[in-house]
Copies of this chain bind each other. A is one copy, B any other.
Amino acid sequence: MVIQKNKNGFYAQSGGVTAVINASAYGVLNKARQHPGAIQKMFAGQNGILGALEENLIDTSLNSVEEISGLKTTPAGAFGSCRYKLGDLNKNVEKYRRIVEVFKAHNISYFFYNGGGDSQDTTKNLAEFVKEQNLDIKCIGIPKTIDNDLPETDCCPGFGSVAKYVATSILEASLDVSSMAATSTKVFILEVMGRHAGWIASSGGLAQDNENDPPHIILFPEVPFHLHSFTKKVEETVGKFGFCSIIVSEGVKLENGELLTNARGTDAFGHAQLGGVAPLIAQVIEKELNLKNHWAIADYLQRSARHISSKTDVDQAEAVGRHAVELALEGKTSVMTTIERITNQPYTWGLGSVDLEKVANREKMLPSDFISTDGFSITEKCREYLSPLIEGEAYPDYQKGIPRYTKLRRELASKIVNYDFPI
C-beta contact mask, A372-415 vs B, less than 8 Å → 1, else 0? 00000000000000010111110100101111010000000000
**Does A184 lie within 8 Å of B402, measured CB to CB?**
no
Q: Are B182 and A304 in contact (CB under 8 A)?
A: no
Is A69's CB within 8 Å of the partner chain B?
no
Shortest CB–CB separation between residue A289 and chain B, in angstroms? Answer: 15
Set B74, B299, B405: member contacting A296, Cβ < 8 A = B299
Is B176 in contact with A207, judged by CB distance below 8 angstroms? no
- Identify which of residues 288-316 in chain A touch chain B, using a CB-to-CB cut-off of 8 Å: 294-301, 303-308, 310
Question: Complex Cα distance A13/B78, Å?
Answer: 44
Contact of A299 among B79, B83, B295, B405 (CB under 8 A): B295
Residues of B within 8 A of A84 (CB): 183
Shortest distance between the CB of A201 and any CB in chain B (Å): 16
Distance A271 CA – B190 CA, assembled complex (angstroms): 24
Q: Which chain A residues (251-268) contact chain B, with CB distance < 8 Å?
A: 264
| The stretch of A118-126, A163-171, A318-326, A357-365 that contacts the partner chain | A163-171
- A189-212 CB contact bits vs B (8 Å, 1 = yes)? 010000000000000001100000
Interface size class of A (residues with CB under 8 A): 35 or more
Q: Is A177 an interface residue (CB 8 A)?
A: yes
A276 to chain B, nearest CB (A): 7
A16 close to chain B: CB less than 8 A:
yes
* Residue pair A173, B294 in contact (C-beta under 8 Å): no
Contacts of A74 in B (CB 8 A): 175
**A172→B47 contact, CB < 8 A:** no
- Find A168's partner among B167, B296, B307, B389 (CB 8 Å cutoff): B307
Q: How far is the CA of A305 from the CA of B298 in the complex (A)?
A: 13
Contact A402 B271 (CB under 8 A): no
Q: Does A76 contact B (CB under 8 A)?
A: yes
In the complex, chain B residues whose CB is within 8 Å of the CB of A81: 179-180
- How far apart sit A286 and B112, CA to CA, in the bound complex (Å)? 36
Which of A96-104, A147-155, A277-285, A332-340 makes up part of the contact surface?
A277-285
Residue from the list B47, B182, B271, B403 in contact with A183, Cβ < 8 A: B47
Interface status of A237 (Cβ within 8 A of chain B): no
Q: With a CB–CB cut-off of 8 A, which chain B residues contact A127? A: none
A residues touching B (Cβ–Cβ < 8 Å)? 13, 16-17, 19, 47, 50, 74-84, 164, 167-169, 171-173, 175-180, 182-184, 188, 190, 206-207, 264, 271-276, 279-280, 282-283, 286, 294-301, 303-308, 310, 387, 389-393, 395, 398, 400-403, 405
Report the 10 A-B pairs with minimum CB-CB distance, sorted nearest first: A77-B179, A390-B401, A274-B279, A76-B175, A272-B272, A296-B299, A172-B304, A47-B182, A176-B304, A82-B183
Q: In the complex, given contacts A50-B182, A172-B306, A271-B274, what are 16 additional A-B residue pairs having Cβ atoms less than 8 angstroms apart?
A: A16-B180, A75-B172, A76-B172, A76-B179, A77-B179, A78-B179, A80-B179, A81-B180, A82-B182, A84-B183, A164-B401, A167-B401, A296-B297, A390-B400, A391-B400, A393-B398
